[in-house]
Chains A and B, each alone.
Chain A
Amino acid sequence: MSSPTLPSTAPTGGGRRPRPRGQVLSQVFLIAASVLWLLPLLFALYVAVRPYSDTRKYGYVSLPHELTLSNFTDAWSQSNMGGFFWNSILITVPAVVIALALASGAAFVLTRVNIKVNVALLILFTAGNLLPQQVIITPLFRMYLKIPLPSFLADSGLMYNSLFGLVVINVAFQLGFCVFVLSNYMKSIPAEMYEAALVDGAGMWTRFWSLTVPLCRPALAALATLLTTWIYNDFFWAITLMSSGDKRPVTSALANLQGQFVTNQNLIAAGALIAAIPTLVVYLLLQKQFIAGLSLGSSKG
């Protein structure tokens, strides 16, 4: 593979004639940028694999005398990270599933049933997702303190400080984006399919559940990937609508961890990297869906 096969293979580009000098410059620039972009992460990784005693003696920016994985196991065992991960799962999984289910229904009605206000409602959903969270937090915080929940949903007995409350707000907030993307997607389903279904006597539910939802599978997969990342990464709702650290999802619980291990930075680095693993895995495995989701939401318009 030593011969430089110039990218005549470029699948999309007629007319993208590669100019050698430009190629070299681009390569150099992109290599430099990639190194710079990876540097903070790699440095955190380097801190995480060095023992505390080593960095204490020689400083963080020094050659390693010893490498270890014990920071990762210690961070895990000393800080209840397992519990925080479990909280994250209990929030993220139901929130993603419910948001997608509800958004599919709304998007279906707004694109396939002609009610006079459907554009207005679509705007209402879409705009809701664009508001900064802080615009609604004040009343939301008061509401969460007022709404009682049965004890099987929350041992606090309130929306406030309950995992259920976080699921609800994540669903409500992400609905807008999902409805917007799904309705754009559903518009591209040919009307003939619905006419055929009507002729076959399919009711509204059949047209939704057996016809529309299966056809939207690519969009749903893309949205699921995006939502998983966004909800897992949420920080704001978790720190404002929860008081106790031990119920928080993992990314916001790390803020507490930072205070707890303030002297042992190696442990914090390890903990932060452990918390980053799920989204990195999602990205590496589902890169295509993730990017498809982003472009589904943006290329329309």
Chain B
Amino acid sequence: MSPLTRTRRVAPPAGDPAGAGRRRRRIRHMTTVDRVVVAVLLGIPLLLSLAFIWIPALTTVLLSFTRWNGVGGLHAKACDPALPSILNNGCVNGVQNYHQAATNYPQFWPAVQHNFIWLGVFVAIATPLGMLFAVLLDRNIRGSRMYQSALFLPVMLSLALIGIIWEFVYSQDYGLINTVIGRDGGSDAIDWLGDPDLNLWAVLLEATWRQAGYVMILYLAGLKAVDPTLREAALIDGANGRQTFWRVIFPVMRPINIVIMVITVIESLRAFDLVYITNKGINGLELLSVLVTSNIVGETQRVGFGSALGVVLLLISLVPISVFLHQTFRREEKQ
């Protein structure tokens, strides 16, 4: 034990509970058993997270530079464009997969566009709607709990079930909407989920139906945590309800606003279940997530190409992830 540590042990720096002196002291105090306990408690979850999340994520990046149909091995030789594709299997393809996705894969740009439309609808419709619900419910009007339960109900359902349940609303022949507007069964029946010009919007209505409830509950929790004296002060200063909300309440909810923003982006990138259950994500419902999936579990396994699409998804999702991590861990890193 160095003399330096010993001095620090005698007089730990005042007002610095997480300071270096104490840190070192605590580690010195660990017995062998303690070390084993620490290693096991942290080690197993860490290994799981590395083995099943992070190594696959990195492997996706590596695979995206190869050309592979999943059969046979991978090797370090560069692909030879002169050879037929079967002889090129497992070769290093450079950025060809990305190039091909951007230029020679008709589903790619529609999928990117649909992902952005998804995000746009969540930002412009689902989030404000959820906030409005929360603000109204927070005013403690009669029946609040009932309304809250009704609006939150969809969040409890699996997205696959939501897809099945909404089928009864949208069906061309027997659906609720077509029957109500008098077009059921006829030749003028609207094919809400089959028409590629309509189905994205129809599915987005289902997604909004769920997302608004999710935003509502998060926002409601945030509103309940706002210090009530802030409202009192605003009232005394003569602010009306709207001013109080936008100038006082909304700014102090910054952390929750960021969480909602991050969730909104991530949920729109993750969107998969609804379109997959509706028509396997084809014919107007293409999304990046669906393209990745269909390239690796479909009949034609294009592992490298599917991975390249996965990397595109990864790169986009790193934006909200970094925002969230920065917001959350900024303070701790300063310590």
Contacts and interface: CB of A to CB of B under 8 A. Distances in A.
Interface of A: 7, 9-10, 12-19, 22-23, 26-27, 29-31, 33-34, 37-41, 43-44, 47, 55, 59-61, 102-103, 105-106, 108-110, 113-114, 119, 121-128, 130-143, 168-169, 171-173, 175-176, 179, 191, 198, 203-205, 208, 229, 232-236, 239-240, 251-252, 254-255, 258, 265, 268-269, 272, 275-276, 279-280, 282-283, 287, 291, 294-295, 298-301
B276 to A, nearest CB: 8
Contacts of A173: 52-53
B232 A14 contact: yes
Given A37-B153, A282-B156, A16 B31 contact: no
A294 B234 CA distance: 29
B54 A138 contact: no
B139 A179 contact: no
A123 B215 CA distance: 24
A60 B255 CA distance: 46
Nearest to B268: A132
A280 B153 CA distance: 8
A292 to B, nearest CB: 8
Contacts of A16: 139-140, 231
A240 B293 contact: yes
Contacts of B220: 291
Interface string B31-68: 10110011011101110110111111101100100000
Contact of A295 (B46, B221, B269, B297): B221
A30 B307 CA distance: 45
A135 B293 CA distance: 10
A24 B139 CA distance: 12
Given A19-B241, A134-B313, 4 more contacts: A138-B56, A142-B70, A295-B225, A298-B256
B159 A258 contact: no
Interface string B135-149: 011011111001101
B182 to A, nearest CB: 11
Contact of B221 (A131, A236, A299): A299
A134 B293 contact: yes
What's the dominant secondary structure at chain B's contact region? helix
Contacts of A39: 169, 176
Contact of B33 (A128, A130, A205): A205
Interface in B242-295: 255-256, 258-260, 262, 266, 269-270, 272-273, 276-277, 288-289, 292-293
B228 A12 contact: yes
19 contacts: A14-B231, A15-B235, A18-B141, A34-B146, A59-B174, A60-B174, A61-B180, A105-B41, A124-B46, A128-B54, A131-B321, A132-B313, A136-B56, A139-B59, A140-B56, A203-B34, A272-B161, A287-B149, A294-B221
Most chain A CB atoms below 10 A, which of B133, B147, B220: B147
Which DSSP category, helix, strand, loop or mixed, fits chain A's interface? helix
Contacts of A291: 217, 220-221
Interface stretch (B22-30, B87-95, B98-106): B22-30
Given A15-B231, A132-B270, A301-B258, A105 B42 contact: yes
B158 A275 contact: yes
Interface in B184-200: 184-185
B307 A34 contact: no
A240 B147 contact: no
B110 interface: no
Contacts of A233: 157-161
Contact of B55 (A119, A135, A139): A139
Contacts of B234: 15
A201 B146 CA distance: 51
A127 B48 CA distance: 14
Given A14-B232, A37-B151, A236-B273, A258 B156 contact: no
A134 to B, nearest CB: 4
Contacts of B229: 14
Contacts of B112: none
A299 B38 contact: no
A36 B292 CA distance: 34
A38 B150 contact: yes
Contacts of A268: 164, 167
A143 B56 contact: yes
B58 to A, nearest CB: 8
A7 B266 contact: no
Interface string B1-33: 000000000000000011000010011011101
Contacts of B169: 39-40, 43
Contact of A37 (B184, B209, B311): B209
A55 B38 CA distance: 63
Contact of A137 (B29, B157, B159, B296): B296
Contacts of A31: 147
B321 A127 contact: yes
Given A26-B136, A138-B63, A114 B23 contact: yes
A26 B135 CA distance: 10
Interface string B304-335: 00110011011001001100110111001100
Given A119-B332, A173-B53, A299-B221, A44 B174 contact: no
